[in-house]
Structure 1
Amino acid sequence: MTKQILLVEDNSSNRELFVEIIRLNKKYEVHVADSGLKALEMLETFHPDLILMDIHMPEMDGLAVTRTIKSTPELSSIPVVALSALAMKSDIESAIEAGCSGYITKPVRIKSFMDELEMYTK
């Protein structure tokens, strides 16, 4: 069965790269939101198996979007995994406190990224 992934990423180069990587495995179907607000709009009618959330975005950052998702009963069970170039312990802790199930640092290594997708979509 195909697993639905929502990628929330404001940087077009990063979006293209992540989409290409995710599509390497045919069991994933990727949907894209270019902002946190667009992601919340999409989630009104779409409930993916996993959300990959960029942390640093204009208007509404990924942590605020994650908090909104986790406070919405019909969305709260969807795992959200943070994507960020920041890898300080405090950054990771902030993401976990906001409700993220995991944290992936950019740039990603394709093999370990795909292994993490597998782990979060079981």
Structure 2
Amino acid sequence: MPAPSAKPLILVVEDAPDNQVLIEQVFQDSGYAVNCVQDGVSALAWLAEQLPDLILLDLSLPKVDGWEVARRLKADQRTAAIPIVAVTAHAMKGDKETAIAAGCDDYLTKPLDIEQLEICVKRWLVERSDRDLDR
């Protein structure tokens, strides 16, 4: 379970600086804390030290791609319950199903629809809070 914090923590795993900045701007005044890393290796290293409440994961990453990051996180008991939202340009038929099969819990395509991103993040963080309260 993620460490308690004043704000829910979102890990953004994204190699495009413009997308990192966009996501940070969307959530800067929203009551969420955002941390960005640029590749799969950095994401796995960061996750060895901290546990976010939600992961926004690009699938086309250098070093270790997002598909493999998702598989590893869902196979690890420590990180398996963290919701992963694929944020990707992979928008061909079957890509969503492949992302879900790799361990992603949800799927958004690029270019990002800001309203859909906000709805998705809120849904996962509210659902997670509700599940935690039920324990």
The TM-score, its normalising length taken from structure 2, stands at 0.85
| Unaligned 5+ runs, structure 1 | none
Q: Structure 1 residue 21 and structure 2 residue 34: aligned?
A: no
Alignment of 1:26-105 (within 5 A): 27-105=31-109
| Unaligned 5+ runs, structure 2 | 1-5, 127-135
**Cα distance per residue 1:69-121 (max 9 Å; x no partner):** 11111110001110111212311111000010000111122222111110011
The offset of 1:18, in angstroms, is 1.2
- Larger radius of gyration between Structure 1 and Structure 2: 2
- Superposed CA RMSD: 1.0
Aligned length: 121
Q: Normalized per residue, which structure has more strand?
A: 1
SS for the counterpart of 1:121 is: helix
Q: Normalized per residue, which structure has more helix?
A: 2
**Cα distance per residue 1:19-52 (max 9 Å; x no partner):** 1112241x11001111111010011110000000
Which has the higher mean CA deviation after the structures are superposed, 49-58 or 86-95? Answer: 86-95
Letter in 2 for 1:47: L
The TM-score, its normalising length taken from structure 1, stands at 0.94
Residue 122 of structure 2 is matched in structure 1 by: 118
